[in-house]
Amino acid sequence: MPIQPAGAAGIKGTVELFDEYRAGLADLDGFSHIILMYQFHRSNGPKLSVVPFMDTQPRDLFATRAPNRPYPIGLSIVRLDSVVDVVLHARNVDMLDGAPFSDIKHFVQPSDQSNGMRSGLVEPGIRS
């Protein structure tokens, strides 16, 4: 299982929507990237302290992207290759097969990026 889309470079996947949402896909294929919101459907309930991947120290849940959350929602920015019928073909996919999707949003620069952002943990055990 890749961690985040950056760790899933080139991994392909599809999102299949119900036919009732077909008309809502008409303009989506003009975007290179989309934001997928989905459920961590194999989550085992919240854990308020976790040791994140590539770290050695326990961290508070809300300072991580661990899937065991009070409301287990995932968010990934993926490359949209094509829209065929009601199926989105994407790359850099980091979610599990069968994950139920909550929403799809288009990614727009610079609205979805900002200068001066901080990521919290720069290196394991060091906060920025």
Statement: the pTM of the whole predicted model exceeds 0.85: no
Over residues 44-71, the pLDDT tens digits come to: 889 999 998 778 999 998 988 888 889 9
How many domains does the chain divide into?
A: 1
Query: Can you give the residue range of the structural domain that contains 61?
Result: 5-127
Question: Rounded to the nearest 10 degrees, how much is the dihedral formed by the CA atoms of 93, 96, 101, 104?
Answer: -10
Over residues 74-95, the pLDDT tens digits come to: 999 899 999 999 999 999 998 8
91: region left, alpha or beta (phi > 0 left; psi from -120 to 50 alpha): beta
CATH of the domain at 85: 2.40.30.70
